[in-house]
Structure formats: C-alpha cells, structure tokens
Structure 1
Amino acid sequence: MFVDHTLESAPAASRRSLEAVTRSMGHLPSAAARLATSPHLLDGFLKLSAMFEQTTLDPIAREVVVMTVAARNECHVCVAIHTTKLTGLGAGGDIVSALREQRPLDDERLEAVRQFTLEVLRTAGGVGDEELRAFLSHGYTEQNALEVVMGIGTYTMSTLANRLTRAPLDADLSRMINAEAS
C-alpha cells in the first residue's frame, strides 16, 4: 500500500529530508521512503530525533529509551537500527539483548531509565511520586524525566508510523547492520 518513494517520486516537501537521510545513512531506507508520503511526519520525526540527541541524557540512556519503546511497540526496523546504534556506542551484548527481549538490565542506572520509560508509558505520564523518586535516586534529574517523555513521544511516532507503513528491513539496512555486528 505505502510507496517506497525515491528522491524523484517523493512529495516535493519531503525531498530535502530524504536527501539528508540519504547523506547520513549512505542510502535511502524504506522506512524513510515510506514516511515521505507525509512530509510533515517525516520532517517532524527527523527534527525531534535530532533534538532528542541533544538532550542531557547520556547517549546510551537515550538509546535505552528508544529501544524500550521500539521493542514494546514491536517495530523491527527501529529495533534493528537502534541495535546498531547501541553497538556503535559500545553497549555490551547483554544490554542489547535484554532491551530487544524486554528483560531487566543488569546495569542499575540504565534499568532505572528502562523502568521509568515503561512507567511513563503505562501511566500515560501519570507517574507516581515513588516511581519518580526511584528514577531520580539514580542520579537523574527532573529535566532528564522530561527528556524521557520527549524520547517516548518521538519514537512512538516513528514506531507507529513504521508499523502502519509496514516498513521492511531493506537490504541496504540489513547489510549495514550485519557489517557492524561482525
């Protein structure tokens, strides 16, 4: 149903974003090509994800948020992309496997991020004082708590859109992931 747009076939308002994705990844992934059907969604996701990358959460904690959302929402494309990203950041295979399988993390500080992310999702943001204190007790701040919400929003949009468009794990992305895994 959803078209894998090319730079030529995409709506004009999506072309600049698709060009940026192509430069960044070295190819145009099907997920982005399909999201191009909505220039606003594609551009919004790219801007929000870039902003999330600038938050005060450390890179691996950000990826814990993303992978928690991606695994929970069963977005195989997001799980694959962020598995590669975690690996590139030096996260151990135990962390990656646990996140992919939705299991607790051995690292208490990262597990606090995972648990807080799940609690924000479970309560639609109505996190109790005890759960918030538990998150903060691991050295996180109220700003970090709001940044987790930002990550959840950004990657909920992405995971739901990728599932709706039935974005495949295309050959170029599979090769990239396999090359980084070896």
Structure 2
Amino acid sequence: MSVFTTHTVETAPAAARATIEGIGHRFGWLPTPVALLAESPELLAGFLAANTGFEQTDLAPLEREVVAFVVATTNECPVTVALHTGTLARLDASPELVTALRAGTALPEPRLEALRRFTLAVLAHRGAVPDAGLDDFLAAGYQPRHALDVVLGIGAYTMSTVANRLTRAPLDPPLAAYAWTPAA
C-alpha cells in the first residue's frame, strides 16, 4: 500500500506544477517517479538542482553514468537503473559496459573501473576513503575536483533512488525494455 499520490499537473502542489509540466514535455510523458516526487516540491527541486549541477561537472557523460549506476545498483532502484540504461543506449555505450554496470561488476575500461571503485569506496566509507582508494582514483587520471564531483553525483542520485524506493515508484512503460531487478 502506498500513501503517496501520483500527481498530474492539475493535482500537484502549485510549487511543483511548472516543473512537472516541463519534465513531461521533455520526456514526452510524465515519469511516474517525478509525479510522485511532486508531493514535495522542495525535494523535486533539490534533486533537479543537484542533478543539473552534476551534469555540469567536469566528468564526461559516460563517467556521470557510472556514478549514477553505482548509486542506483547499490540502492537497488530499478527505476533509476532502467532510466540510465536508456541513457547509455543513447550514448552508444558498449554492450559490455552496459552489462557490467547493470550487474555491478568490474567495467571493461580501466579508467571507468577506477571511477566505479572510487564511487563504491565513497559510499562504503561515507566519504572517508582510504588513501589507497584515492591514490588509485587519481592514478587513473582523475583530478581532486573529480572526487568532489562524484560526491555531488552520489548526493543527487541518493535523493532520487531513496525517494523512488520509498514511494515504490513503478517502471513506466517507455522504460520496460530496460527493466532490471537486483541480484538475489
């Protein structure tokens, strides 16, 4: 049983209406997770602001997807995994990369694998990454600012994945081809 309302532009709190209307136009449909987040215009705005900031970081699009996938698979959020699988398809990511990200296993590209391991370390150590983990990340060619960019991505996707799980956001039909379930 869910106590959360799947809002429309008409039923959403006034502070969320323009936002969800814009998202609906961008996607061609109003994603149910967004309709659910609209219950808290502040959370919706906070996620979108954090996500916009993350998209503007110095991390490349595939690198940002690695961070999003690590958070999504760690937090076992099928909606986020499916949405970002679609993003990887638009980015023409290799099937091997997509499979590894969805499985939470080592990535075929060493630089992206270093990013994956670093993101996992930030999560596991709540930021207190051991020196060896930070050294490995920097040795892969990343800069200190990238470590902080990872923190921003973790923050953004923690908001969305936790909210998606709390609201029990379903997978929208346009994402059905990218459905994912956590490994048992």
TM-score normalised by L of structure 1: 0.94
What's the CA shift for 1:6? 0.3
Deviation at 1:33?
0.2
| Residues 14-59 of structure 1: per-residue CA shift (max 9 Å, x gap) | 1111012112111101100000000000011111111111100011
Q: Identify the match of residue 166 of structure 1 among 162, 165, 168.
A: 168
CA distance in 2, matches of 1:172, 1:5: 18
Indicate conservation of the 8 Å contact 2:86/2:175, yes or no. Answer: no
Query: How many corresponding residue pairs?
Result: 177
Letter in 2 for 1:76: P
**Residue pair 1:29, 1:172 contacting (<8 A) in 2 also:** no
In 1, Cα distance between equivalents of 2:78 and 2:65? 15
Hey, what does 2:82 align to over in structure 1? 80
Structure 1, unaligned runs of 5 or more: none
Contact 2:13/2:38 (<8 A) preserved:
yes
Query: Within 5 Å, which residues of 2 pair with 1:15-164?
Result: 15-164=17-166
Report deviation, 1:172: 3.6
1: CA distance between counterparts of 2:28 and 2:53? Answer: 22
**For 1:96 and 1:110, how far apart are their aligned partners in 2?**
12
In 2: Cα distance, 1:104 partner to 1:124 partner: 21
Please state whether the residue corresponding to 2:58 is helix, strand or coil: coil
SS in 2 for 1:87: helix
Contact kept? 2:122, 2:129, Cα under 8 Å: yes
> What's the C-alpha RMSD, in Å, of the aligned pairs?
1.2
Give me the whole-angstrom Cα distance separating, in 1, the residues matched to 2:91 and 2:72: 18
Residue type at the aligned position of 1:19: E
CA distance in 2, matches of 1:103, 1:171: 27
Amino acid at match of 1:69: V
Identity value in percent: 52
Shift of 1:117: 0.2
Equivalent residue for 2:182? none
> Residue 87 of structure 1 aligns to which amino acid in structure 2?
A
Q: Is the 8 A contact 1:65 1:114 kept in 2?
A: yes
**If the length of structure 2 is used for normalisation, what is the TM-score?**
0.93
CA distance in 2, matches of 1:172, 1:15: 22
| Structure 1 residue 12 corresponds to structure 2 residue 14 | yes
